[in-house]
Amino acid sequence: MPSGDPMLSVLGELVVDLLPVPEAGAGRDGTAPQYVARPGGNALNVAVAAGRLEVPVRLLARLGTGPLAQHLRRHAELAGVDMGGFVDAAEPVSLAVVGLAADGSADYGFHVMGAADWQWTDEELAAVLPAETAILHVGSISSWTAPGSEAIARLVARVHEDGVLVSVDPNIRPMLAAGPVGETLGNTAPVVQARLDRLVALADIVKVSAEDLAWLDSDLYDGQLDDGQLDDAAERWATRGPALVLVTDGGGPLRIARPGRPLMRCAPPSVTVADTVGAGDSLAAGLLSGLLSSGVTTRSALEVLSDDGLRRLADDAALVAALNCTRVGADPPTRAELTAARAAR
């Protein structure tokens, strides 16, 4: 259990996102598109969003080499993130080339061979995890890619035994989780599913997208899940160990499932979408920040949280995600911006 002021600790990867600049064109022959480099990655996005919401948060990340590495560090620092969780690594920083569809949804091409993010050791994690950790959020590529995924799984098991709330977001990237590219990282669908199964079994909170559900439960579903299947999946995942499961569905309702309780739905705010990069990460940060600020930092407190109380937290989390979507890239709102948007609803 934490010994000082409760803190959110976020563990995962740092990624440089290369985002297209559509208005810049692609040159005379259409072969020279322009991109802007922006800080990204599930863990960095969650930590920055929580920092902007002014909750105590530490980012546990292996900072790789390359000319953009220090920009990643500075991005976290400017958001008020505790920098004591950074480990200087000899391996390169991860890179993602982002493609955007007409509706703002994102597709990714990754350049991650030998990247720093999934080389965690037990010793490194023990050195950077603060004793004040009340909530530990893990997920995405680093949580299901070896060798670091094994150290992360051992850490999750230990803090679970200590009573720390564990939050998991699978954040599947199919290209890296299976197929020819995934196999170069040692990843296949069965391997990734097994690694995530053990994390979900220890988790208190799971945030999972409809796309992730379709991929992870491909033996049950064929392609995109309809409303009824999403309802069923949310309730089924709530029987796997977590006290709280949130299922996101783009602009569709947020599903909230708890063991032995009726399924809840939360309609996302209507906004003009610039793109959806970082939306799920912002939602997770909004929820975890709300729990921390409300003093819900134990499994028992989460289990007795009223439906009304949970709905208020979920509405705020959905608003954080919606505000992020009004801006290019992962650019979550500050606490003041959230307060203003909440008052304007």
Q: Does residue 94 sit within a domain?
A: no
Task: Give the number of domains in the chain.
Answer: 1
Q: Does residue 336 sit within a domain?
A: yes
Q: Does residue 101 sit within a domain?
A: no
User: What is the rounded distance in angstroms from the CA atom of residue 171 to the CA atom of residue 259?
Assistant: 23
pLDDT of residue 273: 92
Q: Which residues contact 169 (CB under 8 A, 6 or more apart)?
A: 42, 137, 138, 139, 140, 206, 207, 208, 280, 281, 284
CATH number at residue 242: 3.40.1190.20
- Map residue 91 onto helix, strand or coil: strand
Asked whether 328 and 19 are in contact (CB, 8 A), the reply is yes
- Map residue 146 onto helix, strand or coil: coil
Q: Does residue 19 sit within a domain?
A: no
Q: Record the pTM.
A: 0.94
Q: Does residue 280 sit within a domain?
A: yes
pLDDT of residue 220: 86
Q: Does residue 193 sit within a domain?
A: yes
Q: Which amino acid is at 83?
A: M
> Could you tell me the residue range of the domain that residue 252 belongs to?
7-13+41-60+69-86+117-344
Q: Does residue 25 sit within a domain?
A: no
pLDDT tens, position by position, for the chain (345 residues)? 445 789 999 999 999 989 888 888 888 888 988 999 999 999 999 999 999 999 999 999 999 998 989 999 999 999 999 999 999 999 999 998 988 787 777 777 888 889 999 999 999 999 999 999 999 999 999 999 999 999 999 999 999 999 999 999 999 999 999 999 999 999 999 999 999 999 999 999 999 999 999 999 988 888 889 999 999 999 999 999 999 999 999 889 999 999 999 999 999 999 999 888 899 999 999 999 999 999 999 999 999 999 999 999 999 999 999 999 999 888 999 999 999 999 988
From 94, 206, 212, 199, select the one nearest 151 (Cα to Cα). 199
Structure tokens at 331: 């650019």
Q: Does residue 146 sit within a domain?
A: yes
pLDDT of residue 248: 96
pLDDT of residue 78: 97
